[in-house]
Amino acid sequence: NAGVTQTPKFRVLKTGQSMTLLCAQDMNHEYMYWYRQDPGMGLRLIHYSVGEGTTAKGKVPDGYNVSRLKKQNFLLGLESAAPSQTSVYFCASRQSSSYNSPLHFGNGTRLTVT
């Protein structure tokens, strides 16, 4: 029972390079999210999806793009990485839109941009 799986776990990029972070969930959840966690700041929402084929911006979307072509997968792309995007990225999913439907998180991807 994997839950939410993120790949890769670690990555180092040079400024200007691109990459895609993959999130996969096996719980048949409709809602998926990408957060970033930085020292001294709480988790901040980058983008989210309320179903296959849909995406929406969160609080800090600049510099990122996302796609949800399949219900179980949510991809986060960085087209031209910047040092400010050095962070730990967490993907999450949840069952429903109800406020009391908790988030299920993956184990994170630690990204360093030099």
Q: For 102, list phi and psi in degrees, rounded to 5.
A: -75, 155
Q: Does residue 102 have a cis bond before it (omega within 30 degrees)?
A: no
- State both tokens at 98: 């109800």
Q: Restricting to residues 7-36, which ones interact with other proteins according to CB under 8 A?
A: 31, 33
Q: Which range binds other proteins by CB under 8 A, 12-20, 68-76, 78-86, 92-100?
A: 92-100
Of 1, 2, 62, 97, which lies in the binding site for other proteins, with binding defined by CB under 8 A?
97
Beta strand 104-105 pairing with 87-94: antiparallel
State yes or no: residue 43 binds other proteins (CB under 8 A): yes
Rounded to the nearest whole angstrom, what is the least distance from the CB of residue 15 to other proteins in the complex?
26
- State both tokens at 96: 């429903």
Of 24, 66, 81, 92, which lies in the binding site for other proteins, with binding defined by CB under 8 A?
92
